[in-house]
Homo-oligomer: A and B are copies of this chain.
Amino acid sequence: MTAGPPVGGRHPAVWGDPAQAPTAQEREGLAQLLRARFPDAALAWRDPVDWRTVALSPARLRAPHGLREVVADDRATRLLHARGRSFTDLARARAGDYGSPPDLVATPRSRAEVAQVLEWCADAGATCIPFGGGTSVVGGVTPPAGDRPVVTLQTRALDALVDVDVQSQAACLQGGATGPVVEQQLKPHGLTLRFFPQSFELATLGGWIATRAGGHFATGPTHIDDLVEAVTAITPQGRWSSIRLPASGAGPSPDRLLLGSEGILGVVTDAWVRVQPVPQHRARRTVRFASFAEGAGAVRALAQSGLQPAGCRLLDPIEGLLNGAGDGTAAVLLLAFESAWRPVDADLRLALELCRDAGGTPDDAADAGAGEAWRSSFLRAPYLRDALIGLGMIVETFETATTWDRFDRLVEHVADTTQAAVTAMCGDGIVTCRITHAYPDGAAPYFTVIAPGRRGEEPAQWAQIKAAATGALSAAGGTVTHHHAVGRDHRTWYDHQRPELFARALRAAKVAVDPDGIMNPGVLID
């Protein structure tokens, strides 16, 4: 058995490209900032446990002859596929706890090889876990402990641009293409998917589809769902391919059953997606509000206006400060319009009128750099999170969505409950909130927790905080997830949220395409 395809030089306990990790100097700068807010925190830097020293059981199965070229059993590959990228995953991995790493990692290069891997898993009584960028923050790619051997199916070798239809503004891409690979391949055609989740650097198109990821647009096509034209998945029973259509009324949408299926039905190998010309016109402004609730009123007006701003992120005062978009005294709305063919200044003017009516104060146009500051810190955040974790902090996010009638109460209840849990578990800590996506009938608030942890106990501390927070948002009428998926971590609450009869239907659908139950067991349903 060979070492298999390279895993891109990634470190199994940190985010992304190790070369981009914060330097010792940057870490010290961060520690100083944190000390001002958390004077009692130790904030001593700790490197991750050397992954080469971690105990690792031998693989419990071997690849069949025909697949050896694409199956790896080396330590680095197995550990890199042992966990997703939630706070808990990273904190545990840094401490040398890799849970139950997969026995083997297969990196098929074609639909046919994907099918072969699934056949092999079924024959061998193995579990198969589809894995794109491995950026799940909900335990979506975590091998279950137990007697069944586990093969993680890494999709990254399937990352080609298959076809482009410029006339229809659509492209067919393979499911393993990461954000940058998608954009690099579309660029020569003057096109872009404009799908920029925080996981952009590592996450894949197939993963976005499997988890109903949320992207760039704050209004309108917020989820990848809205950008999908057709999907091909390989299931244990064979290929599931829909035909390319801009819209259809022929029965329940086959694509919509794959969207959000989180690997329990099959592996998304390729999809036709809606793309667009690169925007040529942009207009952007920040608007300050006396309170988050006042800002939320403006977001509601904007979402109901039909103006469809591309950017409409509302940061609470502390988020504004942390992200360099505000001074900590006001909530900050980052408002942006874009178009490939027409000026959007008039849209921005109308939007600013709505903001003023809602009590907002637009910043001077010259100060519009706050939007840029936000963007760079947004994509840099996962690297900074690593630094914070190394300094002993608990740092994690969670999100939900609810209708406007319940919005203010939900935000207050969730923030208060989470803050109380943070204080109880950590003595101190920050809970912040932003709106990431907005709809005519509601919005998605996104919470961040930063608190000093007790070394070695951080995952347990976070589990208590997370349970309190998710309980609170579920009770207040929010979804367990707006765009982070269900995975294994949200099961308790998801099981209450989804209609029981839908769960029965989904279980039956799964049995129909995965009769041996090999695909990502424990996610969504049992």
Contact = CB atoms under 8 A, between A and B. Distances in A.
Contact of A244 (B300, B477, B505): B477
A242 B274 CA distance: 28
Interface in A166-213: 167-170, 211-213
A455 to B, nearest CB: 33
A437 interface: yes
Interface residues of A, number: 91
Contacts of A381: none
A211 B249 contact: yes
A249 B403 contact: no
A509 interface: yes
Contacts of A402: 245-246
Interface in A221-246: 222-223, 229, 235, 237-246
A402 B165 CA distance: 13
A134 to B, nearest CB: 18
Interface stretch (A91-99, A123-131, A439-447, A459-467): A439-447
Given A240-B502, A502-B257, A513-B504, A494 B250 contact: yes
A342 interface: yes
Interface stretch (A1-9, A42-50, A321-329, A482-490): A482-490
A247 interface: yes
A268 interface: no
Interface stretch (A21-29, A151-159, A258-266): A258-266
B250 A486 contact: yes
Contact of A308 (B244, B306, B481, B482): B306
Interface in A494-511: 494, 497-499, 501-502, 504-511
A246 B484 contact: no
A353 B433 CA distance: 43
Contacts of A238: 501
Given A244-B477, A254-B498, A513-B505, A165 B214 contact: no
A481 B248 contact: yes
B305 A341 contact: yes
26 contacts: A169-B304, A213-B249, A237-B504, A239-B499, A240-B499, A241-B499, A242-B502, A244-B403, A246-B442, A246-B443, A247-B401, A247-B437, A247-B479, A249-B479, A249-B481, A249-B485, A250-B481, A251-B260, A252-B258, A257-B257, A265-B505, A305-B342, A306-B308, A504-B513, A505-B513, A508-B511
